[in-house]
Structure 1
């Protein structure tokens, strides 16, 4: 069920969809996405390239063109950022995608160079399992921004984690978590904070 609640959790639930069904749905709903996207100038074309380190799958998609969201590109990125453990997809926050592009540009990293994705969307089931496995001190929040489609854990080959963290903090686009032992930086579009 879309937009419903499961087990008392206060967040929308997105059913597992095939990649083709997700793209068809995005194209059908494209009229609502064709409104101007305020973070981008009318002449911009914003592309994001990601590689999931767990599945080795890659996605490279344009999600904004001429100041408007591109449904097909968003669908491809939603698929690429899905919960790799369960296959569940979610409508990722376009501001998160924008933040990743801005971060790449701040680091002067080519748009064709893939950002390594450790975690994007995280289903409630996956989030609960990660919390149970590691206890309260693992960094897995009970109401994680990952479950809202507003967070990603990333690294960029050739860019130190310290530099990546510094660039993310300088952008001030949301939360920044630093996990050098695990080899990634967490970025989200929640309130500005860092740990």
Structure 2
């Protein structure tokens, strides 16, 4: 049984519903006011104060991450540094500080799917040069991609339906969700809630 999130003081109404509470828990979609008012603590309460662990496998490099990135009410800097490198642009061996809210999106999606598999990361950070080259190759690549800001990842979960993952993430409205069925992956980001 999944834990129920406590009401966020800045969400409208006495019971704003699961989606608004998830947005508040991650500090997404409702802006900084929600996070400042305590919405960020709701995720920890929803998982009984548990630390947040991610399982990541970077497809291009074969590198993995299986560790806690958030504990005792804060992000672990060493873990975030390792994740920044893992999510780097492998074409240029260039990393950027990833937005930790992206890791929260991945965490809550895995948590809601009861996933024990590692996310396979197809694309994380993209340098402007790499993104421009990809955009020239495909109309599906945005020239203003959140990948360039360290706010997006293209992922899949082995043995899991990409459509089901995209639908769940879109229902939670914790950021952008793009389903790429032909390629078998889902774009997740910590930007505004939208879907394609």
Partner of 2:98: 92
**TM-score normalised per structure 1:** 0.75
Gaps of at least 5 residues in structure 1 are 1-35
Asked if 2 retains the 8 angstrom alpha-carbon contact of 1:41 and 1:66, the reply is no
Q: How many residue pairs end up in the alignment?
A: 155
Partner of 2:135: 131
Q: Tell me the distance in 1 between the aligned counterparts of 2:76 and 2:100.
A: 10
Q: Tell me the distance in 1 between the aligned counterparts of 2:184 and 2:64.
A: 19
Detail structure 1 runs of 4+ shifted over 4 Å in the superposition. none
Q: Give the match's secondary structure for 2:67.
A: strand
Partner of 1:155: 156
Asked if 2 retains the 8 angstrom alpha-carbon contact of 1:47 and 1:63, the reply is yes
Partner of 1:186: 187
Give the drift of 1:133.
Answer: 2.1
Q: Tell me the distance in 1 between the aligned counterparts of 2:72 and 2:50.
A: 5
Give the drift of 1:193.
Answer: 0.8
**TM-score normalised per structure 2:** 0.75
Partner of 2:52: 46
Q: Give the match's secondary structure for 1:127.
A: helix
Q: State whether structure 2 residue 59 is matched by structure 1 residue 56.
A: no
Asked if 2 retains the 8 angstrom alpha-carbon contact of 1:176 and 1:193, the reply is yes
Partner of 2:173: 172
Give the drift of 1:81.
Answer: 0.7
Q: Give the match's secondary structure for 2:44.
A: coil
Give the drift of 1:97.
Answer: 0.2
RMSD: 1.6
Partner of 1:6: none
Q: Deviations over 1:36-82 (max 9, x none)?
A: 99254373311111111122211223111111110011011111111
Higher relative contact order structure (alpha carbons within 8 Å, sequence separation ≥ 6) = 2
Asked if 2 retains the 8 angstrom alpha-carbon contact of 1:48 and 1:62, the reply is yes
Q: State whether structure 2 residue 72 is matched by structure 1 residue 69.
A: no
Q: Deviations over 1:113-136 (max 9, x none)?
A: 2110000111101001111222xx
Q: Tell me the distance in 2 between the aligned counterparts of 1:122 and 1:183.
A: 20
Give the drift of 1:163.
Answer: 0.9
Gaps of at least 5 residues in structure 2 are 1-37
